Amino acid sequence: MQYRFADRLSHAPKSFLGELFRVSADPGIISFAGGLPSSALIDTVGIKKATCQVVEEDPATALQYTTTDGYLPLREYIANRYRSRLGIPATAEEIQIVNGSQQCLDLFAKIFLNKGDHVGIERPGYLGAIEAFSLYEPVIDTVPLEDGGPNLPAFEHLIREKEVKFFYGIPNSQNPSGRTYSQDKRREIAGILEESDAVFYEDDAFGELFFDRMPRRPVKWYLPDQAVISGSFSKIIAPGMRIGWIFAPAGILTRFNIVKQAADLHSNFFCQKILHRYLTTNNLDDHIRNIVTVYERKCRLMCDLLEDLLPEVSHTTPEGGMFLMATLPHGLLSRTVFDEGIKQGVAILPGLPFYVDGGGTDTIRMNFSTSSEEQIKEGMVRLARVITDLQKT
């Protein structure tokens, strides 16, 4: 049978995710390659209790269809957290629930991008966004990401010259690099965008995970009608629930709602009810504080081991989140390190899929949230052995 697939599939980059999941499932491999939050920090007891309460009180409603925009009390909770934590005057009407922030990427691209349109991203950029956007056949333009944020001259040139529909960025603990935008750069980015009709898509998957517990003012604070924020409970509650949201102006949400309804009618209402019950019967800040304490310790451990065991490997120093990026010694290829690492029982993610315009051959992304401290210690010894042996060949 000859299947006549849509032409757009030929533009989708080859995904490395399948191989990642296969590697992560092998118990003999210590994986720094994936992007999972720590399973040990999921409050299974609290979620079980919230689930039982929802089932006992009104199971028929919780298991029924609901509106496309999502459970109103949950949207009110999210909006209130924006107001109390970041000082943004958010309302529930500006919030729409989605199936994790990955769905948000797809639907946002669907309402904005025609074939050949320009969209801007960071370099390196999040591979999930690259894959989602590529299906709509845009031209993806990149801006180098430095310590403190995007290179401003390059960013300004892109906005002025390319007529991008939107720029996608992760200002807080970026995936893959772990870098965070400075407050000055957020303000300057907003100033550049103000003179255009480009939208800033602010992916805030890691904004709650700063090691110092100090919230950073988002770009949307400066551009209320020209920026959107996507958020997720995957990194702070449980990824299996697949509950995220978009916070956007009404003019965008109206169109977003149309494509969301066509995609799946609405996100899992049962999980929305459970999540809201959990959030309103537990102290979220205490829970996040526990997560951050553990992640900071793991991050510092990984950084210290990199410097002790592989002083010739440079790396970013994250202020939060779940990832760091390292640059290999001259002449070493990240794909070779990946292949040899699997043989030695340790996995890293080659930087290649984060660079849509080529590059990343000498960079690796490393996740510190998933592994235990003992696994990090052993995994770093294995990685050091791999790189040392490769340098000898």
Across the beta sheet with 349-350, the strand order is 314-315, 323-327, 363-367, 349-350
Interval 66-83 mean pLDDT: 98
Domains in the chain with CATH codes: 11-43+285-392 (3.90.1150.10), 59-281 (3.40.640.10)
Q: Dig out the tokens for 189 from the structure.
A: 């980015």
For the chain, count helices (H), then strands (E): 14, 14
Q: pLDDT tens, 99-128?
A: 999 999 999 999 999 999 999 999 999 999
Of residues 202, 135, 204, 176, the one with CA closest to residue 355? 176
Interval 182-210 mean pLDDT: 98
Of residues 134, 139, 128, the one with CA closest to residue 110? 134
Is 163 within 8 Å of 138 (Cβ atoms)?
no
Q: pLDDT tens, 11-36?
A: 777 666 666 666 667 788 999 998 89
Residue 232 has, within 13 A of its CA and on its CB side, a CA count of 21
C-alpha 79/C-alpha 272 separation (Å) is 15
Amino acid at 258: I
Mean pLDDT lowest among 267-271, 378-382, 389-393: 389-393
Residue 216, pLDDT above cutoff 70: yes
Residue 37, pLDDT above cutoff 80: yes
Amino acid 291: pLDDT: 98
More reliable by pLDDT, 308 or 35: 308
Average pLDDT score over the chain: 95
Q: What is the CA radius of gyration of the chain?
A: 21
Report the DSSP beta bridge partners of residue 327.
314, 363
Torsion of CA 281, 286, 289, 295, to 10 degrees: -60
Q: What is the DSSP string of 22-88?
A: HHHT-TTSEE-SS-PPPGGGS-HHHHHHHHHHHHHH-HHHHTS---TT--HHHHHHHHHHIIIII--
Q: pLDDT tens, 259-291?
A: 999 999 999 999 999 999 999 999 999 999 999
Amino acid 34: pLDDT: 86
Amino acid 24: pLDDT: 65
- Percent above pLDDT 90 for the chain: 91
Confidence of residue 142 (pLDDT cuts 50, 70, 90): very high
Residue 203, pLDDT above cutoff 90: yes
Surface-to-core class of residue 13, CB atoms within 10 Å of its CB (0-12 exposed, 13-18 middle, 19+ buried): middle
More reliable by pLDDT, 7 or 126: 126
Q: What is the pTM of this model?
A: 0.95
Pairing of strands 323-327, 314-315: antiparallel
Residue 367, pLDDT above cutoff 70: yes
Is 349 within 8 Å of 19 (Cβ atoms)?
no
Amino acid 19: pLDDT: 67
Residue 307, pLDDT above cutoff 70: yes
Q: What angle do CA 190, 193, 197 make, to 5 degrees?
A: 140
57 CB-near residues (< 8 Å, 6+ apart):
none
Pairing of strands 149-150, 166-169: unpaired
Place of tokens 């294995």: 382
Amino acid 8: pLDDT: 85
Interval 187-191 mean pLDDT: 98
C-alpha 31/C-alpha 25 separation (Å) is 9
Interval 252-258 mean pLDDT: 97
C-alpha 211/C-alpha 202 separation (Å) is 20
Residue 160, pLDDT above cutoff 90: yes
C-alpha 221/C-alpha 85 separation (Å) is 12
340 CB-near residues (< 8 Å, 6+ apart):
386, 389, 390
Amino acid at 15: S
Is 141 within 8 Å of 119 (Cβ atoms)?
yes
Q: What is the DSSP string of 146-171?
A: ETBEE-HHHHHHHHHHS--SEEEE--
